[in-house]
Amino acid sequence: MTIGVMDSGIGGLNMLAALIKCRVADRYLYLSDGANLPYGKKGGGALREIALEGCKKLAERGANSIVFGCNTLSVSALDYVRKRVIPPVFGLIPRPDLLSGRSLLMTTPTTALYLPKIDDSVSLLTPAELASLIDREYPDTRETESYLSPLLLPYEGCENVYLGCSHYLYARELIKRLLPGARILDGIQPLAALVRAVLPTSESRNPSIEMIFTGKNESERYLAILASLLK
């Protein structure tokens, strides 16, 4: 079983790590579409074509199934590509319905356009530069902290924070520090569990991993980040 994972940058490595931990496949292809980073500012039409092209590229490399490690790509293009490619495609869809009490939902601006109506107790924050900033500087977090700290000030006392962008997971510890007491949620583990439940599973403890880049090749950096996520 070969699974292809697609994202605009390092965010989807969180999805890849979760799939590897679940032992879903013997081989993984990771498509980092840096040429189109960030997805979160693009329109739906452009994202649908980007998603279709990425799926075709992964299928040509042998992917039996494809997972979007990106919320924006999932909400804007999942249904579109499912009708146009042969391998089954899974998407990372935000779940604001899981939030209760005073909560904060963080997404990209484009993802926010596709959200269902959210409860009045849930605030929506769409930090337009956060994904690009994290992608550029991680594992350094100094610029991310300077950017994010003032944005989170109005949400002190939140009970829950849902990270609706896979890039934002790299700021999890920073968010926990800025909003102490908040429960941090995301959709990575539930999607990995779904993929494992639907697809034939592998018991491979050492799957092969191939990195594919549309922009600058950063294999060494990506593999180092992935190794840290797998610890």
Catalytic annotation, residues: 70, 165
SS3 23: coil
Tell me how many helices (H) and strands (E) the chain has: 9, 9
- Sequence-distant (≥ 6) Cβ neighbours of residue 19 within 8 angstroms: 3, 5, 25, 28, 67, 192, 195, 196
C-alpha angle 178-168-217 in degrees, rounded to nearest 5: 135
Amino acid at 100: S
Which phi-psi region, left, alpha or beta, contains residue 157 (left: φ > 0; alpha: ψ -120 to 50)? left
Amino acid at 189: Q
Helix (H) or strand (E) holding 51: helix 44-60
Q: Are 197 and 88 in contact (CB under 8 A)?
A: no
